[in-house]
Amino acid sequence: MKPRILMAGGCHLAGYLVGRDAAIPEVVLGMLAAQGRPADLELLTHVPLTHPERVTAACNRFRPHVTVLQVGHYESQASFVKWLRQKKRRRSKKASRHGDDPPKFEGVSWRGAPFRFWGACKRAADALLLHPLINLATFEEKFLSFLEAVAASPCGRVVMLSPLPCADPLASYYRSRVAPLYPAAASRFGFEFLNCFDIPAPPADHRFDVAGFHADPVHLGAAGHRAVSRRVTLALLPLLPEAGAQTPVPNSLPIHAD
């Protein structure tokens, strides 16, 4: 019997822009198979922090040996369009339809002066408004509540990914602000923390391209997915039982006291 992996997260796991075959879940499965460690995968995409029951239900049904969480991106996705919609109380209640995606920049150099100037203007406007785009206290409350529910389920070992790297300076700033919550929460709930935020783009990569490191300002391209997948694979290898081993599915480690 193959070990079972549950992956739950956002649009990156769904293969947004790059397609499912080039997305993290399929790439990780391929890398594990190349190491002689094939696995069965259950995939949940577009999972908001307000609905941990989607993950807990899958854990109860699938009984994974390892659960991989890539969560919190939608809630930490900072944009002025999204903020203004919230102010006008017209924000959609659905998890994500990508209606707030920034303009596509296919072929534009994300290292070039025009894009950097565009990003600097957004950062300056955000600073003048005293960084209102994400309510960090609200994010933390939802984040911890989500993880507590997952930890109480038969989730096996849990690998929690940090926020992923992106080219947009404003989005990257807000991801950096929520990033410290991830290792702290992983320690609290007995999860394995995997830092992916510091993965660098190759020096020669400088244009937005679905095949490159950045597909657009806030989504990774196929090369970015492969870079994240390499780290995920290395984290999974020591946690997965050998195929055919009669290894009981563990729960996450006990929740540490504050």
Confidence of residue 43 (pLDDT cuts 50, 70, 90): very high
Give me the number of domains the chain comprises: 1
Rounded to a whole number of angstroms, the CA Rg of the chain reads 18
pLDDT digits (tens, 9 = 90+) for 208-244: 999 999 999 999 999 999 999 999 999 999 999 987 6
- pTM score of the predicted model: 0.87
Percentage with pLDDT > 70 across the chain: 84
- Contact by Cβ (8 Å): 51, 10: no
pLDDT digits (tens, 9 = 90+) for 3-24: 999 999 999 999 999 999 999 9
Indicate if the pLDDT at residue 97 is higher than 90: no
pLDDT mean over 64-71: 98
Confidence of residue 132 (pLDDT cuts 50, 70, 90): confident
Cα–Cα nearest to 116, from 76, 170, 79, 73: 170
Residue 251 confidence (pLDDT): 56
Confidence of residue 101 (pLDDT cuts 50, 70, 90): very low
Percentage with pLDDT > 90 across the chain: 76
> Is residue 249, in this structure, part of any structural domain at all?
no
Residue 88 confidence (pLDDT): 60
Q: Domain with 76 in it: what CATH number?
A: 3.40.50.1110
Residue 29 confidence (pLDDT): 98
With residue 172 as reference, give the H or E element that holds it: helix 169-178
Q: Residue 67 is part of which domain span?
A: 4-89+101-236
pLDDT digits (tens, 9 = 90+) for 52-63: 999 999 999 999
- What are the CA-CA distances from residue 3 to residues 161, 206, 220, 249 (Å)? 20, 38, 28, 10
